[in-house]
Amino acid sequence: MRFHSPQKLKTIADLIGSKFVGPEDFEVLGSNEIHMVKPGEIVFVNHPKYYDKALNSAATIILIDKEVDCPEGKALLVSDDPFRDFNKINTHFTRIYNFTEELHDAEIGEGTRIHSSAVIGNNVKIGKNTLIFPNVVIGDRTVIGDNVIIQSNTVLGGDAFYYRKLNGNFDRLISVGNVVIENNVEIGNGCTIDRGVTDSTVVGEGSVLDNQIQIGHDTIIGKKCLIASQVGIAGCCVIGDEVTLWGQVGIASGNKIESGSVLLGKTGVNRDLEKGTYIGMFAEDFKTYLKKEVKLRNLK
């Protein structure tokens, strides 16, 4: 998430009541999650196991729960609860409406048709000649391109599934990102696409989604992908161009699928995959799987 204008390190420290390490006027451009963070942005870390990853990431400002050696050219915000203060920063710069207030500020292109039962959030942009079916819900800040079809009961821009355990309860990381649907995308009935925590969840140009598909926060779907029913893709995944995912494929968080790959029905993914055709609970190469099956059947 980029702030509307650059901020100073001291301004952010004062906002959350934290110590800081670095010049008072050190420039802060925004905030982001570790998988998506860019130079000039804040990332948070609240466990020693991940200190090195955060300190050595692209982030320029690290919101951390212990004062450590600060890498050259970076700054620290030292907080007793980085998770809480990350939420505080994000919601200070991005207002959360959750359909409690209607600004009626949607930008809708020529030729677009939206059924009267659809619900449109605030700061939404919809392109030309797009068709939105009954009971579709489009959350705040969603961007939809031209010639898009969104069928009934689909929800774009729901909250990310991102929690921590705190005092025996689950505490949500508040989602201030959005969903971007590029041109010529078709989305079936009953799909759910979560908005990014601090960035965008993207469905690339020309991709086609069947019914009842779940796409997690900050995931990037490439161009001209074909995704069949009941596929579940966790957060922060990157799916290349022209990838085919058949029914009930499941992809764990943070994995990458190379362009041109095909994942057959019920394939499970727990690692990055190079271009190929895969099957099975642990995404086995399809030709290797067939050879193994032949050997097993020939056993006497």
Q: Please spell the DSSP secondary structure of 121-169, one letter per residue.
A: -SS-EE-TT-EE-TT-EE-TT-EE-SS-EE-TT-EEEEPP--EEEETTE
Q: What is the mean pLDDT of the chain?
A: 96
The one-character DSSP state at 10 is: H
Q: What is the mean pLDDT of residues 61-69?
A: 96
pTM (2 decimals)? 0.95
Name the pLDDT band for 293 (thresholds 50, 70, 90): confident
Q: Kindly report, residue by residue over 168-191, the tens digit of the pLDDT.
A: 999 999 999 999 999 999 999 999
Q: What's the token pair of residue 100?
A: 């409690």
pLDDT band with cut points at 50, 70 and 90 for residue 294:
confident
Tens-place pLDDT, residues 218-230:
999 999 999 999 9
Q: How far is it, in rounded angstroms, from Cα 238 to Cα 255?
A: 6
Q: What is the per-residue pLDDT across 73-106, written as a single tens digit (0 to 9) for each?
A: 999 999 999 999 999 999 999 999 999 999 999 9
For the stretch 262-291, pLDDT in tens is 999 999 999 999 999 999 999 999 999 998
For the chain, domains (ranges, CATH) are 2-93 (3.40.1390.10), 107-288 (2.160.10.10)
**Confidence grade of residue 299 (pLDDT, cut at 50, 70, 90):** confident
Is a pLDDT exceeding 90 seen at residue 292? no
186, 149 in Cβ contact below 8 A? yes
Asked if residue 297 has pLDDT above 90, the reply is no
What DSSP assignment string belongs to 73-129?
T-EEEE-S-HHHHHHHHHHHHS---TTSS-----EE-TT-EE-TT-EE-SS-EE-TT
Q: Kindly report which listed range (22-31, 63-72, 134-143, 283-292) carries the lowest average pLDDT score.
A: 283-292
Indicate whether 35 pLDDT > 90: no
The percent of residues in the chain predicted with pLDDT above 90, rounded, is: 96
- Residues forming the active site: 217
Residues 98/79, Cβ–Cβ less than 8 Å: no
Q: Which two tokens stand for residue 165?
A: 């355990």
Q: pLDDT > 70: what percent of the chain?
A: 100
Q: Residue 43 above 80 pLDDT?
A: yes
- What pLDDT is attached to residue 148? 98
pLDDT band of residue 300 (cuts 50, 70, 90) is low
